[in-house]
Amino acid sequence: MAAYINIFGQKIQYISSDPDPVQEGQVWYNSTSNALKYRGFNAVAAWASATALPGADRNCGYSGTATAGLVFGGNNGPSRHNATYEYNGSSWTSGGNMNTSKGYITGCGLQTATLAFGGEGGASGCYGTTYASCTTEQYNGSSWTSTTNAPYDGGATNMAGTSTSAITAGDGRGTPAATLQGLLFNSGSWTAAPNMNTGAPAYRSQCGILGTSSSSAIFVGGDNGTSPPFIANVESWNGSSWTEITNINTGRGDPGGAGSVTAGLVFGGKTGGSTYTGATESWNGSAWTELGDLNTNRGNSSGNRGTSLATWAAGGESPSAVTTVEEWTGEGETTKTVATS
């Protein structure tokens, strides 16, 4: 196969979106994200330091990709936030504020089309829960709009899908009926989905997520309230039911997750009351493989819905809230952003 430079010459493309498909060696300037990018091969999988978050945050919602990501909400101790930060692969900029300040919030979708659900706002939720909320918001790339409330208060849950079609499950702060309950969001309406299989004595919360579809996702680990509270169980969702699959090697709650149901990455998390891990594991559809740890052990960090080859861990707690950001580059072809000034 001819190299990209031999096919297209040496001019840098100026385009409004990343090319698809993209070839190794290809270079382009994305005029929408104002970022110079290239497709290269990475021979060593590792975490590396990246531009810090503008403010210390944990328990944020997140969405998007490694080069077009979104972090929103979160808390630093008792202080809850409504700020939104957009990441272009090298720097952070402020987006539109959420309508409600909340921590323990979840989300999914793209940087320009995100769904956010639940969270802890410090006041009673829609159904009287002390530390959870049923409120739902959608982001269009510049502002947030409130949409249909869920039938349960949710906090410390997680979500996979798009801004218009999503699955959320597991809860540690919501209404008792929601503690294992799955919920499906579809075009502005919420409906009940089957309960997850594992969660004792009464709930399962703070799972990691693989997948970007409401009909195909994997929920990893979590907190089930026992002692020790953090579990290694992994469950796969196929759009109608849950199936227990291979446990992750290091049981944990609050991990980050990225990638698909056949090529995913789980990183960081909480393994004890004040004990955090940087353990990183890849998933190939049938087995987990331990890879290089995060440089800073932490839980409750924000990731993105990128790939197993390109993602990041932003903020989190270790045990206090941090601004630290690390970028993951896996072994193989990956798109990278060039820092410019």
- Burial tier of 238 (Cβ tally within 10 Å: 0-12, 13-18, 19+): exposed
Q: Are 150 and 108 in contact (CB under 8 A)?
A: no
pLDDT tens profile 204-222: 888 999 999 999 999 999 9
pTM: 0.86
pLDDT of residue 152: 83
Tokens 């809850």: give the residue. Answer: 80
d(CA 227, CA 272) in angstroms, rounded, equals 9
d(CA 331, CA 34) in angstroms, rounded, equals 26
| CA distance to 112, 178, 210, 231, per residue, from 200 (Å) | 37, 13, 22, 10
Q: Domain ranges for the chain, please list them.
A: 43-333
Phi, psi at 335, each rounded to 5°: -90, 130
Report the chain's terminal Cα–Cα distance, integer Å: 35
Strand order in the sheet with 13-15: 13-15, 27-30, 35-42, 332-338
Tokens 């993602």: give the residue. Answer: 311
Question: What fold, for 43-333?
Answer: Neuraminidase (2.120.10)
pLDDT tens profile 110-144: 999 999 999 887 666 777 666 788 899 999 999 99
Parallel/antiparallel/unpaired status of strands 75-76 and 84-87: unpaired
The pLDDT of residue 177 is above 60:
no
The one-letter code for the residue type at 8 is: F
Tokens matching residue 71: 């972090």
pLDDT of residue 121: 79
pLDDT tens profile 23-67: 888 999 999 888 899 988 877 889 999 999 999 889 999 999 999
